[in-house]
């Protein structure tokens, strides 16, 4: 295991725990990073420098989930104030507000940026059409516990939802019917698609789980049992390693994807780790913590300058 101390960039601005992070895909303006926080004010940053771009102000409760379109021009957020909001990332203005009957715990947006999906305390999946915001949403019911994660898988015409009922449900976008289920041994805390959209990853109890989404066989799931109960997991773009965070641990840990062996430990946060996310190029790892900070860790080997880091051929 590599115990080399890595000094992260610390991004301040939040006043309460940071619970969700997402990098955008590369855009003409660079890669963006959005953070969700219990202070109710999602923040948009430059994904490579951590520089503040803007704060989305309008929610009246904790924001549990934030997602960006692939073009980075729109953000979607879900909140404890029973709303999902759609934002213009260039102006910070609210485009639409969609009212719910309880806490919105999870959001995602379609690849073309025209529809959003939400889930939460109601255990109900909803799809809203941004071209017809006043139209009733499409709805699907199946979970018996709160939906913690929603993943939009355009390439395969499906949505995936993960809940406290220990189930991942797969829905056909064309019919809104439930087509398959993956059963876990513990509630699913967090679920996302890898940046290349080839692998679904989720945490359940002490397990980090990875499924090739092109496979029709659930036996193709790779599962690693780790030391702590996990809150978040992120697969490196080259699929060689993965990062994991835990609500029971102050350290970010890097593991070998093939063996599950612990490779590195990143020390710096002063509270449990709620969320981890690799950048699209794999050169950065973003982490969010109970301590209210976002930290950016240089994980790649390129000599590119990132933020305050400057590299030379001897680095």
pLDDT at 193: 95
> What is the C-alpha separation between 122 and 78, in angstroms, rounded?
13
- The domain segmentation of the chain, as residue ranges, is 9-298
128 token code pair: 């809203």
Q: What's CA 45's distance to the chain center, in Å? A: 15
10-residue mean pLDDT profile of the chain (315 residues): values are: 70 97 91 97 95 97 96 96 97 97 98 96 97 95 96 93 96 92 95 93 97 82 96 97 96 97 96 97 96 93 46 32
99 token code pair: 């009212």
pLDDT at 5: 59
**What stretches of 18-132 adopt beta strand conformation (E)?**
18-23, 32-37, 43-46, 52-55, 63-68, 74-79, 83-88, 94-99, 104-109, 115-120, 124-129
Q: Answer whether 95's CB lies under 8 Å from 87's CB.
A: yes
**What string of DSSP letters covers 254-275?**
EEETTT--EEEEE---SS-EEE
| Fold assignment, 9-298 | Methylamine Dehydrogenase; Chain H (2.130.10)
* 114: phi then psi, degrees, rounded to nearest 5: -100, -15
pLDDT at 125: 97
Q: Residue 290's CB: how many other CB atoms inside 10 A?
A: 18
């Amino acid at each position: 295991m590599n115990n080399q101390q890595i000094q992260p960039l610390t991004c301040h601005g939040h006043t309460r725990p940071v619970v969700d992070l997402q990098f955008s895909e590369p855009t003409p303006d660079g890669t963006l990073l959005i953070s969700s926080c219990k202070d109710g004010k999602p923040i948009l940053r430059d994904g490579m420098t951590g520089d503040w771009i803007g704060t989305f102000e309008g929610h009246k409760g904790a924001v549990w989930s934030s997602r960006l379109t692939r073009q980075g021009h729109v953000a979607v957020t879900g909140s404890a104030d029973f709303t999902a909001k759609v934002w213009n990332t260039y102006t910070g203005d609210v485009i639409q507000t969609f009212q719910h009957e309880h806490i919105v715990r999870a959001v995602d947006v379609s690849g073309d940026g025209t529809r959003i999906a939400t889930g939460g305390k109601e255990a109900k999946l909803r799809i809203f059409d941004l071209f017809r915001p006043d139209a009733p949403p499409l709805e699907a019911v199946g979970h018996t516990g709160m939906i913690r994660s929603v993943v939009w898988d355009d390439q395969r015409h499906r949505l995936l939802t993960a809940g406290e009922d220990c189930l991942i449900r797969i829905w056909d976008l064309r019919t809104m019917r439930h087509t398959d289920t993956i059963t876990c041994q513990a509630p699913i805390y967090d679920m996302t698609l890898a940046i290349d959209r080839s692998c679904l990853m989720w945490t359940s109890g002490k397990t980090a789980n990875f499924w090739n989404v092109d496979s029709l066989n659930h036996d193709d799931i790779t599962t690693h049992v780790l030391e702590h109960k996990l809150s978040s997991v992120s697969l490196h773009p080259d699929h060689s390693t993965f990062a994991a965070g835990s609500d029971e641990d102050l350290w970010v840990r890097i593991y070998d994807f093939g063996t599950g062996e612990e490779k590195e430990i990143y020390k710096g946060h002063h509270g449990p780790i709620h969320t981890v996310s690799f950048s699209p190029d794999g050169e950065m790892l973003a982490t969010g913590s109970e301590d209210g900070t976002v930290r950016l860790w240089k994980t790649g080997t390129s000599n590119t300058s990132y933020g305050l880091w400057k590299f030379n051929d001897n680095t």
